[in-house]
């Protein structure tokens, strides 16, 4: 083999040198996601080291307890790209649009809702736009402070999922207000969010999260406590209760939105497993954060389950609480965040 042929081979290998020793040609997901974060380095932003943005990134991202030497080795289990995400969500939005047309326009389902169903929606559906908007802002913060474009992309799509859900809640709120103007849909949700005793554990958790600035703490508290528990309550079990109250439209919408929640959990679990595999000391760091939010999670479960079963006493709240706690334990275990994992 000549020196010239060796030189050509080395030059070809450098084509994907940004990926390190990948051992293969990167796929489309990796090509459009890799090394897109411009805020890493000794001085994150191209300004003086003492400007506010650089000080913030240094304190709340680079100096946190969680230490991962190379987040660029993390991969989204769904390998979601912008194109793939838009195609998938276009299909889901088309499905929900068809539900709305079929049930509200063709069947007139909103006009047939019982008094119990309307009270259920007034308490457990329309106020959730405050809850979900909080999750949207926190997800955007996780994206903004992410140390790798692989993590940032996951958080960005999670943010978009929350925006999609806020829009659907707002749409349903207006539809219900038009059909049932005496129930206060669209005008009483803030009062419920701020004063109803059952909403207060959730409101307190979200508002605490909004001033939780360390990336690792915000990530664990949101993606392993507040958001997944609330998704179980206000999507999965909400869907079941709505069906029991003869409200198939809102049941099916919640069931569809739950797909977004499952995708968020997949990347969150994968991110934790990557951090722990990178450095076993990270397991103790993450478990400590989780332990600090354990009580908040328990309070959310108790209040949330009482909320969604208030109008349906025939549905046992104990069984729902047990199911959600088992789900929460399983999620923690799968991420390596329990001593029995």
- Sorting pLDDT into bands at 50, 70 and 90, what band is 312? confident
The secondary structure of the chain, three-state, reads CCHHHHHHHHHHHHHHHHHCCCCCCCCHHHHHHCCCCCCCCCCCCCCCCCCHHHHHHHHHHHCCCCCCCCHHHCCCCCCCCHHHHHHHHHHHHHHHHHHHHHHHHHCCHHHHCCHHHHHHHHHHCCCHHHHHHHHHHHHHHHHHHCCCHHHHHHHHHHHHHHHHHHHHHHHHHHHHHHHCHHHCCCCCHHHHHHHCCCCHHHHHHHHHHCCCCCHHHHHHHHHHHHHHHHHHHHHHHHHHHHHHCCCHHHHHHHHHHHHHHHHHHHHHHHHHHHHHHHCCHHHHHHHHHHHHCHHHHHHHHHHHHHHHCCCCCCCCHHHHHHHHHHHHHHHHHHCCCCCCC
85-104 per-position pLDDT tens digit: 999 999 999 999 999 999 99
pLDDT given for residue 56 in this prediction: 87
pTM: 0.91
Span 177-187, mean pLDDT? 97
Within 8 A by CB and 6+ apart from 207, the residues are 134
Structural contact between residues 145 and 215, judged by C-beta atoms closer than 8 angstroms:
yes
Q: How confident is the model over 239-256, as pLDDT tens digits?
A: 999 999 999 999 999 999
Q: How confident is the model at residue 314 (pLDDT cuts 50, 70, 90)?
A: confident
Report whether 145 contacts 57 (CB < 8 A). Answer: yes
Q: Report how far apart, in Å, the C-alpha atoms of 86 and of each of 82, 160, 233 are.
A: 6, 10, 27
Contact 328, 228 (CB under 8 A): yes
The pLDDT assigned to 30 comes to: 83
Looking at residues 225-236, what average pLDDT do you find?
98
266 Cβ contact partners less than 8 Å away, ≥ 6 residues apart = 77, 78
Task: List the domain boundaries for the chain.
Answer: 1-27, 71-334
pLDDT at 13: 47
Which whole number is the average pLDDT over 108-118?
97
Q: What is the pLDDT of residue 18?
A: 66
Question: Is 33 within 8 Å of 149 (Cβ atoms)?
Answer: yes
Fold for the domain defined by 71-334: Ribonucleotide Reductase, subunit A (1.10.620)
State the pLDDT confidence band at 320, using cuts at 50, 70 and 90: very high
Strand, helix or coil at 245? coil
Tokens found for residue 90: 């276009």
Determine the average pLDDT of the residues in 281-301: 97
What's the CA dihedral at 268, 25, 31, 158 to 10 degrees?
-20
Is the pLDDT confidence value at 5 over 80? no
> For residues 210 and 205, what is the distance between their CA atoms, to the nearest angstrom?
9
pLDDT band at 292 (very low <50, low <70, confident <90, very high): very high
φ and ψ at residue 247, rounded to 5 degrees? -125, 70
Q: Which residue has the higher pLDDT, 309 or 47?
A: 309
Q: Which of these ranges, 47-56, 125-134, 203-212, 325-334, has the smallest mean pLDDT?
A: 47-56
Residues 171-181: tens digit of each pLDDT: 999 999 999 99
Of the candidates 227, 211, 324, 232, the residue with the CA atom closest to the CA atom of residue 267: 227
Query: What is the Cα–Cα distance from 155 to 40, expressed in whole angstroms?
Result: 17
In this model, does residue 8 exceed pLDDT 80? Answer: no
Mean pLDDT of 126-154: 97
Range 83-102 burial, b when 16+ CB lie within 10 A, else e: eebeebbeeeeeebeebbee
Q: Between 3 and 289, whose confidence is greater?
A: 289
Look over the chain and give the mean of its residue pLDDT values, rounded to a whole number: 91
Lowest mean pLDDT among 13-27, 54-68, 190-204, 215-229: 13-27
Average pLDDT over residues 288-301: 98
15 has pLDDT over 60: no
């Amino acid at each position: 083999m000549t020196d010239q042929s060796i030189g050509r081979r080395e030059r070809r290998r450098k084509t994907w040198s940004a990926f390190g020793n990948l051992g293969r040609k990167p796929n489309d997901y990796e090509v459009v996601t890799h090394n897109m974060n411009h805020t890493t380095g000794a001085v994150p932003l191209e300004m003086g080291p003492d400007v506010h943005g650089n000080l913030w990134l240094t304190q709340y991202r680079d100096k946190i307890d969680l230490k991962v030497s190379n987040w660029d080795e993390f991969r989204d289990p769904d390998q979601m790209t912008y194109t793939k995400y838009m195609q998938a969500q276009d299909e889901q939005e088309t499905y929900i649009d068809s539900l709305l047309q079929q049930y509200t326009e063709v069947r007139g389902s909103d006009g047939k809702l019982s008094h119990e169903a309307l009270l259920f929606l007034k308490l457990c559906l329309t106020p959730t736009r405050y809850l979900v908007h909080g999750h949207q802002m926190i997800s955007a913060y996780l994206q903004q402070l992410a140390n790798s474009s692989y993590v940032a992309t996951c958080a960005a799509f999670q943010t978009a999922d929350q925006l999609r859900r806020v829009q659907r809640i707002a749409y349903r709120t207006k539809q219900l207000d038009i059909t049932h103007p005496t129930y206060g849909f669209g005008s009483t949700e803030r009062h419920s969010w701020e004063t109803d005793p059952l909403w207060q554990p959730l409101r307190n958790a979200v508002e605490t999260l909004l001033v939780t600035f360390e990336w690792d703490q915000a990530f664990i508290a949101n993606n392993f406590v507040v958001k997944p528990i609330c998704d179980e309550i206000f999507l999965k079990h909400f869907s079941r209760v709505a069906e029991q109250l003869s409200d198939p439209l809102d049941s099916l919408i919640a069931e569809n939105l739950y797909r977004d929640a499952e995708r968020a959990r997949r990347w969150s679990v994968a991110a934790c497993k990557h951090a722990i595999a990178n450095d076993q000391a990270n397991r103790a760091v993450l478990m400590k954060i989780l332990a600090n939010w354990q009580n908040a999670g328990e309070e959310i479960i108790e209040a949330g389950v009482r909320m969604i079963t208030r109008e349906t006493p025939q549905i046992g709240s104990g069984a729902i609480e047990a199911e959600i706690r088992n789900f929460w334990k399983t999620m923690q275990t799968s991420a390596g965040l329990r001593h029995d994992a």
